[in-house]
Amino acid sequence: MKEKLLKLKEEALAKITDAAQPDSLEAARVEYLGKKGELTQILRGMGEVAPEDRPAMGQMVNAVREAVEAAIELRRRELSAKALEAKLGKEKVDVTIPGEPVVTGRRHPLNIAVGEMLDVFTKMGFDVVEGPEVEYDYYNFEALNIPKDHPARDTQDTFYFTDNVLLRTQTSSVQIHVMENQKPPIRVVAPGRVYRSDAVDATHSPLFHQMEGLVVDKGITMADLKGTLENLARMLYGEEAVCRFRPHHFPFTEPSAEMDVQCFACRGEGCRLCKGEGWIELLGAGMVHPKVLRTCGIDPDVYSGFAFGIGLERVTMRRYNIDDLRLLFENDLRFLGQF
C-alpha cells in the first residue's frame, strides 16, 4: 500500500507539472481526486487494512492528497498568470502610433436653419409648441376659415384617411389648438412636417416642413408683424437684408401679405438665383382673421393678432444656395458633409 501511494504521488505530480492547459490540469485532478479517482479509491479501501496499520496509512494517504492538491493549486496559478501575460501581450498598445481618425456626424442643413430660427424667436419671447401631423378636417381647414369648396381641400392636393381625418397640409392647424387651450397673450412658433399631394421634383415634395408663428394680444398691429419678420430676416441674412411686403390673400388672415427678401447674390439687380426678379419670396403672413379668433373663443373686439407661415426648405435652400429640394431628403453623405 505504501509503495502504491508513493508511485501514485509521483505519477500525479508528473501529470500536474506537464499540464499545459487548464483543461488538462482539471483532467488530472479528476483522475486522482475525483469521486472515482485513484486516491479516492484507496481511501475507500482503508477498511481492508489491518486495524493497527490504519492510523499510519491514513496519515500517509492524507499527506499524498494534500501534496497533490497543493501541486494542482500551484499549477493553476502558474497557468492563470501565463494566460494573463499572453492576453496583456496581445492587448499591448503602442502609444506612439497615431490614432485612427473618428468620423463625426454633421447636423442636417435643415436642422441648422431651423435651430437658428428658433433661437431668433425664443430671444424675442416666443414659445415653441407642436401639434399632431394626423389632423381633423376642422383644425386643418374649417377653423381656419377655409370653405368646403376651396381648392386646397380637394383630394388631389390633400392626403385623406377619411372624410374627416387627413395628413395636415399646413402647420397653421397648430394655432387653432393653441388658441383653444390658451388665453391671450399668446406668442408661439410651431415647426413641423406637413404633407401635400405633390409630385417630387427640384422644388416640390409630398413631405416638407413649415414653421407657424402666432401672436395674439391687445393692440397687436401690422407694424408688429412687419417688425418681427424684418428682425428675423436680418438675423438670418445679415443686417443689410432688405425686405418687402406684397398684398396677398389667405382665408385665415386679413389683411394678408407675402414677404420677399432682396436677393443676396445680386442685391436686387436680377440673377439666376432669383430668376431675374431681384427678390426671393420667403413667407406668407397677415393679421389673424376675426372669424378665426371668434371660432377659438377669443373676442376679436378685444384682441388682435398676427400669424405667419415659413417654408423651412425654402429658407434652407436660400441660405445655402441649394438649387434642388431633393438633396435635402436623399441622405447623400457627400452633400451632407458640406455643412
Residues 113 and 85 in one domain: no
Domain count for the chain: 2
Q: Looking at residue 330, which CATH number applies to its domain?
A: 3.30.930.10
Residue 296 lies in a domain: yes
Residue 284 lies in a domain: yes
From the number of C-beta atoms within 10 Å of its C-beta (0-12, 13-18, 19+), residue 71 rates as buried
Residues 264 and 179 in one domain: yes
Residue 129 near residue 188 (C-beta atoms within 8 A): yes
pLDDT computed for residue 106 by the predictor: 84
pLDDT computed for residue 128 by the predictor: 96
Residues 160 and 292 in one domain: yes
Which of 63, 90, 117 terminates a domain? The answer is: 90
3-state secondary structure 57-126: HHHHHHHHHHHHHHHHHHHHHHHHHHHHHHHHHHCCCCCCCCCCCCCCCCCCHHHHHHHHHHHHHHHCCC
pLDDT computed for residue 76 by the predictor: 87
The C-alpha cell of 94 is what?
Answer: 503602442
**CB-based contacts of 108: which residues, under 8 Å, 6+ apart?**
328, 336, 339
pLDDT computed for residue 44 by the predictor: 64
**CB-based contacts of 279: which residues, under 8 Å, 6+ apart?**
244, 260, 261, 262, 263, 268
- CA–CA dist 295, 297 (Å, integer): 6
Residues 35 and 173 in one domain: no
Residue 100 lies in a domain: no
Residues 141 and 169 in one domain: yes
Residue keyed to cell 427678390: 279
Residue 98 lies in a domain: no
Residue 231 lies in a domain: yes
- CA–CA dist 225, 235 (Å, integer): 16
pLDDT computed for residue 172 by the predictor: 94
pLDDT computed for residue 312 by the predictor: 92
pLDDT computed for residue 17 by the predictor: 85
Residues 29 and 70 in one domain: yes
pLDDT computed for residue 100 by the predictor: 84
pLDDT computed for residue 240 by the predictor: 81
- pTM for this predicted structure: 0.66
Which of 58, 90, 122 terminates a domain? The answer is: 90
Which of 37, 63, 90 terminates a domain? The answer is: 90
pLDDT computed for residue 206 by the predictor: 92
pLDDT computed for residue 46 by the predictor: 63
Residues of the chain with pLDDT under 70: 1, 43-50, 52-54, 155, 264-265, 272-274
From the number of C-beta atoms within 10 Å of its C-beta (0-12, 13-18, 19+), residue 171 rates as buried
Residues 197 and 145 in one domain: yes
Beta-ladder partners of 308: 213, 285
pLDDT computed for residue 292 by the predictor: 95
Residues 75 and 119 in one domain: no
- CA–CA dist 290, 313 (Å, integer): 30
Domain that holds residue 54: 2-90
Q: Which amino acid is at 32?
A: Y
